[in-house]
Amino acid sequence: MHLNRLCNAFAMLLVFFVSSYAAEPKQITKDGRWKLSPCYGVDGKDLYYSLSSDMGRVFLIKQDLATGKTSKMFEETTDHLYDASFSSDGKYLAYCQTSGSPQLFVVIRNLTEQTEATYRPVGARSTARRPRFIPGTTQLVFNESGEGGQQIAIVNVDGGNRRLVTELSAINRWPDVSPDGKRIVFCSSKEGNYDLFTVNTDGTGLTQLTDHPLRDIHPAWSPDGKRIAFVSVRDGDHEIFMLDLTSRNVTQVTKNNFRDDFPAWSPDGKKLAFISQKNGSTDIFELEIEPVD
């Protein structure tokens, strides 16, 4: 490993602290089934996630957080559904759907007008994942694999006017957007393993946020714009960490011997939902997050 990379990693360790959250995570689901990519509804009252069923399908699930009641969305769709996301005004819902060719495409539903648009990557082996709406615009960002590798792309809510944000010789995945709509955070293998980077929505201003010998993935930008939650294996297994964007301090949020993954912020920034594989099951937990000044 290059000396400067070791020095940067050591510097990151100097600002590393283990979190002391008072509350234990609250268990949201208890069925133990495989789940993926939770997200909150715009009012924070419902949680949405992908769930594998006995039918061999991956459904999109809506769960009322007050009652625990769940319902399957779009049951008429026979494909698998992944990576749900809402626009900040609640007008649009986006998710990824399997189709065979391309492998996954983006569905954008206008919930007000009850219309639907799609973006389908070009190429039989192409696929799109993790759509996220850009606040203050009628666009969304996602990662797309194709002839140019895995890159970050933007498309309009009508599925048109697609353009690339990154054109890096690397695997670039799992974007999220700052609450002011100006910057995108994503994980990239640009420096040899997955680190966190940000870039302006026009593709300028590429900035590296983390530099660690072990991978940092699945970033989620806080609603106040001050922190980014992410997943890292820097303590031996997948745990949730927090990056303060002012100090660049990294704080560990979860610490145990099982996988914690896919953090998602509540709209008020007071909670994180995440997937945990505690005791060999896969369920969603919710953790209260301390505010920052």
For the chain, domain boundaries? 3-288
The pTM assigned to this predicted structure is 0.91
The residue assigned the tokens 């492998």 is: 103
- pLDDT value for 149: 85
Q: How far is Cα 228 from Cα 221, in angstroms, rounded to an integer?
A: 4
What pLDDT does residue 22 have? 43
Superfamily of domain 3-288: TolB, C-terminal domain (2.120.10.30)
Q: For residue 23, what pLDDT is reported?
A: 67
Looking at residue 125, what is its pLDDT?
Answer: 79
For residues 193 and 214, the answer to whether their CB atoms sit within 8 Å is: yes
What the block records as the tokens of 222 is 């806080």
Instruction: List all residues 6 or more positions away from 177 whose beta carbon is below 8 Å from its beta carbon.
Output: 132, 133, 134, 135, 141, 183, 184, 185, 201, 221
Q: How far apart are CA 171 and CA 241, in angstroms?
A: 21
At 165, give phi and psi (nearest 5°): -95, -40
The ranges of the chain with pLDDT < 70 are: 1-23
The confidence score (pLDDT) of residue 288 equals 96
In this prediction, residue 99 carries a pLDDT of: 74
What pLDDT score was predicted for residue 25?
93
| Angle subtended at Cα 148 by Cα 180 and Cα 141, rounded to the nearest 5 degrees | 20
